Amino acid sequence: MIKDLFADDDNIIRQWKEPLAKDAIILRGFAYSKAPILLQNIMDIAENAPFRYFMTPSGHMMSVSMTNCGQLGWISDKQGYRYTENDPLSGQKWPKMPEIFQQLAQKAASQAGFTDFIPDACLINRYHPGSRLNLHQDKNEIDLSQPIVSVSLGLPATFLFGGLQREYPCQRVLLTHGDIIVWGGSSRLRYHGILPLKDGVTPWPLQDNVRYNLTFRRVFPV
C-alpha cells in the first residue's frame, strides 16, 4: 500500500505566531481561511462607502485609498486626522461592521493576550503597486489601553515597525495574505509604515493587483 501523503492535509495548521516586540505579535495565516468572505464583505462595504483618496492636513493626496466600517471611521482632510460617525462623501453613517470582522478581530486580540477587545472602528486601506504609507503613529484614539488588530489581504507588503520615536531603527516584516498583527500595551505608539508596494502575484480569489489592510481599533473607552 502506498501511503497517501496528503491524507492529513486538513489537519495541518498553517498558522503560527511570531513575536515582534513586547506586546506585539504576528499571527501568520490567522485570517487565511476567512479571506474570501472578508474580501466579499470589503466589496459590499465599498458599494456604500467607496474607496477614496484622502488629503493629508498638509495638502498631499495619499497614495492609499480608504474606506471604513463600524461606528466610527478614520478620515483626513485640511482640518486634520480624526474619527467621524458619518462618511463625509454621503453624509450617511459608515456601514455596519460585519459580524465576521468583529469576531476575527476579537479572536486575534485574545490570541495575543488582549481579552475583550471590542473594536468600534475598522479602517480599510487599499494599496496598488507603488502605494505606500509613511511612518506614523496611531494616536487619534482616546482609549490607548486597547490594542490594534491589523489584517493583511492580497499582495504582500513590507511593513516597517519602528520605535517610540521616528528616528529609531525599524524592523522590516513581510506581511502576506492572511497575516494579522496585534499590538498594544508598551508598543501601542510605535512608529510604523508600509514601503511602496511591489507588483506581484495576487492570491485567489482576488483579480486585481491590490493589497487590502483592515485595521481594527477601539477609539472610545468601552
Q: Which residues bind Fe ion (CB under 5 A)?
A: 138
> Which grid cell sits at 138?
496611531
Q: Counting contacts by CB under 6 A, is residue 177 touching ligand MD6? A: no
Distance between CA 141 and CA 154 in Å, rounded? 27
What are the CA-CA distances from residue 176 to residues 43, 92, 188, 214 (Å)? Answer: 20, 33, 22, 13
Distance between CA 148 and CA 133 in Å, rounded? 17
Q: Counting contacts by CB under 6 A, is residue 68 touching ligand MD6? A: no
Q: Counting contacts by CB under 6 A, is residue 215 touching ligand MD6? A: yes
Taking the least distance from each CB to ligand MD6, the nearer of 37 and 144 is: 144
User: 186-205 mask for ligand MD6 (x: CB under 6 A)?
Assistant: ------x-x-----------
Distance between CA 40 and CA 139 in Å, rounded? 29
Sign of CA dihedral 133, 139, 141, 146: positive
Q: Counting contacts by CB under 6 A, is residue 150 touching ligand MD6? A: yes
Identified binder of ligand MD6 from the candidate list 72, 181, 197, 219, rule CB under 6 A:
181
Residues that bind ligand MD6 (CB under 6 A): 125, 133, 138, 148, 150, 159, 181, 192, 194, 213, 215
